Structure 1
């Protein structure tokens, strides 16, 4: 990743392309995380103290997100 702008305020063409690629990947990941966080149990404080339940909750939320994406792309 190119990082910050140098003092002259210009990035090289390679650095600009690297930043463009990095930002496009970041947008995709942010959309995935927001889809998972539709399940409020993921984004709120999880108060269940049983061991391993937090892993089950995130796996279920990811599964629901994948199912929503799968169903959205189906044509009936």
Structure 2
């Protein structure tokens, strides 16, 4: 691979890792991973919105390490 192709792959990898970490954080809610047996219209979308909101709340309020 050329240097330009390698650099392009690095950029893509950085974005992909961030996306994969976000998806894994959302999947901590088991309701997103498991099969939902509720047939109500829009319920699965609501579950996903709630899982994403919980993930964002967890990320926003994560304790930051102390700098010494």
Q: TM-score, normalised by structure 2?
A: 0.90
* Residue 68 (structure 1) aligned to one of 55, 58, 64: 58
Inter-partner Cα distance in structure 2 for 1:24 and 1:47 = 36
Unaligned residue ranges in structure 1 (runs of 5+): 1-10
Inter-partner Cα distance in structure 1 for 2:21 and 2:30 = 16
In structure 2, the residue matched to 1:30 is: 20
Inter-partner Cα distance in structure 2 for 1:35 and 1:66 = 9
Q: Quick check: which has more Rg, 1 or 2?
A: 1
In structure 2, the residue matched to 1:19 is: 9
Q: CA deviation at 1:46?
A: 1.1
Does 1 or 2 have the higher relative contact order (CA < 8 Å, sep 6+)? 2
Cα RMSD (Å) of the superposition? 1.4
Richer in helix (by share): 2
Q: TM-score, normalised by structure 1?
A: 0.81
In structure 1, the residue matched to 2:29 is: 39
How many aligned positions are there?
65
Mapping 1:52-67, distance limit 5 Å = 52-67=42-57
